[in-house]
Amino acid sequence: MQLRKNFLIFIFLLISFGCSNKNPSVIKEKKLNNNFGIISLNSLSADIIYNLKPEELIGIPGSSILRKNDNFKNITTVSEGRTPPNIEKIISLNPSLVIGSDGFHDKTLTKLDELGVSTLKTKVNSLPDLTNLINRLSQITKSDSKIVFDKIGSCLINPSQKNKKVVVLVSTKPLLSPNNKSWAGSLLKNFNLSNLAADLDGSEQMKGYLNLSPEWLLKEDPDNLILIRFGDEQYNQYSSLPFWNNLKAVQNNNIDYFNYYGLINVGSLNSINKTCEKLESI
């Protein structure tokens, strides 16, 4: 029970950037100062800024998705994992703007506001939210947004009509799935995939995600299953579930494996684009 609770908390911390709250796409900021230099506390905004105007990105989060990209290796890291961002390190970089995720970096951004540092809160729960963020950061950096939109070109196409009933499973312990209040749910809808969990209520901790029961999954019997490989393999042993082979999607081999970044956590422009390409192919 304690392991399950810890896992839920860990998942919440990781996907909160892509979960919905009451006001999607909320962006709050103070007037920018005349210095140059932007720090992003989330990987997506860091990636967008780097593509718009790389010389202005001076601080990034300690994200695994950024560590794999050599473009960011010489940029100062101001946070690591679940550890709160280092306020002193941020101040020492003398940024013109610090960008953070609404609902996740609130304490850090409030403290920076009190210290006179300009901040920007972002929330991305859908493709329109992403478009708005790209356009806003393009305005801030006085640069052309086209280069960024080109990076997510597969997300901006007119998707084909699919009429397929799908369920996304993030883990087996618990049997976690996104509804329509999540980034994943919004992408499924955009690509005309009928998410059977779309209108189900999420948990108190994660409004965009819910625990499914085996009985519900067997009753709904989706055409396709989208599985996320995440973290410890004990959460990814889908085939070990006692009811697994009774599902139509399993019997017909209509199973697609997706990366965690791009579908569950927005991650980066590249991860988003790859996810859109794969969703269109289902």
d(CA 196, CA 53): 41
State the DSSP code for 96: S
d(CA 247, CA 29): 48
> Tokens at residue 195, please?
């998410």
pLDDT band at 202 (very low <50, low <70, confident <90, very high): confident
Cα→Cα distances 25→3, 40, 130, 164, 242, Å: 33, 17, 8, 29, 41
pLDDT at 64: 87
Model confidence over 257-267: pLDDT tens digits? 999 999 999 99
Q: Is the pLDDT of residue 234 over 60?
A: no
pLDDT band at 233 (very low <50, low <70, confident <90, very high): low
d(CA 186, CA 171): 19
Q: Is the pLDDT of residue 25 over 50?
A: no
CATH fold, domain 15-151, is Rossmann fold (3.40.50)
Tokens 């909320």 -> residue: 26
Q: Is the pLDDT of residue 274 over 50?
A: yes
**Cβ atoms within 10 Å, residue 124:** 26
- The residue with greater pLDDT, 24 or 231, is 231
Q: Is the pLDDT of residue 32 over 80?
A: no
pLDDT at 71: 92
Q: Is the pLDDT of residue 89 over 90?
A: yes
pLDDT band at 81 (very low <50, low <70, confident <90, very high): confident
pLDDT band at 161 (very low <50, low <70, confident <90, very high): confident
d(CA 4, CA 10): 10
Contact 59, 124 (CB under 8 A): no
**CATH class of segment(s) 164-281:** alpha beta
Helix (H, G, I), strand (E, B), or coil: what is residue 38? strand
pLDDT at 232: 55
d(CA 117, CA 111): 9
| Domain range list for the chain | 15-151, 164-281
Q: Is the pLDDT of residue 23 over 50?
A: no
Of 12-16, 83-87, 103-107, 196-200, least confident by mean pLDDT is 12-16
Helix (H, G, I), strand (E, B), or coil: what is residue 262? helix
Contact 155, 124 (CB under 8 A): no
Of 116-130, 157-171, 195-209, least confident by mean pLDDT is 195-209
pLDDT at 231: 60
d(CA 98, CA 41): 7
d(CA 65, CA 129): 21
d(CA 233, CA 237): 7
Question: Is 15-151's fold the same as 164-281's?
Answer: yes
d(CA 189, CA 126): 10
- Whether the ω angle into residue 159 lies within 30 degrees of 0, i.e. cis, is no
